[in-house]
Amino acid sequence: METLFDLLSIEKEKKAARLLLSDTQKTFAVEGWVPRTCSEDMKKRIEEEFICHIEIREPGEDEQPPVLLSNPALVQPFEAVTQMYSLPSRSDIDPNPLIAPFFFLFFGIMMADAVYGTLMCIATAIAIKKWAPEGLSGKIVRLIFLGGISTIIWGVVFGSWFGDLPKVLSGGQFIIRPLWFNPMENAVLMLVFSLGLGVIHILTGLFARAAILIRNKDYAGAVFDVFSWVLLLIGLLMLIPGGVTGQVGQYMAIAGTGTILLFAGRKHKNPVKRILSGLAGLYSISGYLSDILSYARLLALGLATGVISSIINTMGAMFAKSVPGVLFFIFLLAFGTVFNIALNALGAFVHTSRLQYIEFFGKFYEGGGRAFVPFGGKTRYIRMNNN
């Protein structure tokens, strides 16, 4: 039954492709897209088998070629994030290599538990081994596996093993010290750390925008619209430590502000209009402020994971004073852990994605590309070997 389904799907696809051809009784013409890396190979193989004429050309100026992403194996799972938003258009760069490190980092910070991370890695490794998922779902499973590794790392950094289970079980005798600090005890440091990561993320987005503008030879845009903001943002940050750094930062911020004020409205000839539109440009500082504050969710979601696990632990420890109590505790721990991981992995996934889509992509990425869908071999139940 399954084989039949696949066989018929292939036939259906062939029939659908026929409709796209322009043919006479004896001849037909095919036009289509082929990835550049395999175009010569394809030409050779078809010419060996059939009598035909094959012409290969680069896409024209006004054409929108379909997109096939090509990234190293470690970055590939993160393509799922871009795929769920929108594929890059011709004027974009492939954002995946930029997304990968930040997604990895942010997902782990929001989960941050060494034991939870291990469980996530084991579960996803079994899923990959057993079902060998492909396509988008395959990428997402691998993404959660990598997220699990990051969760372990941050769990060790923040000293979270099943939340505070070692401490609760030993009655405060045995505490696994965090490698850096415990966000539950030092929430302010965690908040500063979260916002700091946000600034780095946003600056990376701005640099990506500058790179695109420079590639398109829009040097004025890169200097006046991007580097002026970089100067202003870094200058404002340098005000915080004060001293000589603060002095330098002050001048950088003033230089950045001046550039934006004078040049943001450079397309207007009228000087009054130009300054007014410069002022309007400067108003986007509020946007940057809210973007940076948005990274506070790194702290909030990390706390949610930690506090829920400590609720489970505290509740369990109240019962764990007799044999049935201990059994109940184990049951509670197992049930609570699955619940907590499922809920917070979903939360970490959607919130990390949001940080990429709104705060990061907003700086440089447009999207709107369509996917390259190769002809042939779309089966549901059977996998075909290459060749």
Residue 372 binds to another protein (criterion: CB under 8 A): no
Contact 21, 28 (CB under 8 A): yes
Residue placing its CB nearer to another protein in the complex, 21 or 342: 342
DSSP letter for 92, please.
S
Structural element, H or E, at residue 213: helix 187-215
Tell me which of 66, 347, 362, 367 binds another protein, using CB under 8 A: 347
Nearest approach, Cβ of 357 to another protein (angstroms)? 6
Residue 338 binds to another protein (criterion: CB under 8 A): no
Both tokens of 295, joined, read 């990274």
CA gap 149, 108 in Å, rounded: 8
- The pattern of x and - marking residues 186 through 225 that bind another protein according to CB under 8 A reads -xx--x----------------------------------
Both tokens of 206, joined, read 């701005």
Tell me which of 139, 201, 274, 297 binds another protein, using CB under 8 A: 297
Contact 8, 382 (CB under 8 A): no
Residue 311 binds to another protein (criterion: CB under 8 A): yes
Tell me which of 9, 33, 76, 85 binds another protein, using CB under 8 A: 85
Residue 84 binds to another protein (criterion: CB under 8 A): yes
Residues of span 149-188 touching another protein by CB under 8 A: 187-188
Both tokens of 98, joined, read 């930029």
Contact 58, 340 (CB under 8 A): no
Contact 348, 94 (CB under 8 A): no
CA gap 309, 252 in Å, rounded: 45
Residues of span 241-280 touching another protein by CB under 8 A: none
Residue 294 binds to another protein (criterion: CB under 8 A): yes
Phi, psi (degrees; rounded to nearest 5) at 176 = -80, 115
Residues of span 312-331 touching another protein by CB under 8 A: 314
CA gap 236, 204 in Å, rounded: 17
Nearest approach, Cβ of 322 to another protein (angstroms)? 18
Nearest approach, Cβ of 86 to another protein (angstroms)? 9
Nearest approach, Cβ of 330 to another protein (angstroms)? 21
Structural element, H or E, at residue 23: strand 22-23
CA gap 18, 10 in Å, rounded: 13
Tell me which of 202, 310, 329, 365 binds another protein, using CB under 8 A: 310
Sites of contact with another protein (CB under 8 A): 84-85, 187-188, 191, 293-294, 296-297, 299-301, 303-304, 307-308, 310-311, 314, 343, 346-347, 350-351, 353-354, 357-358
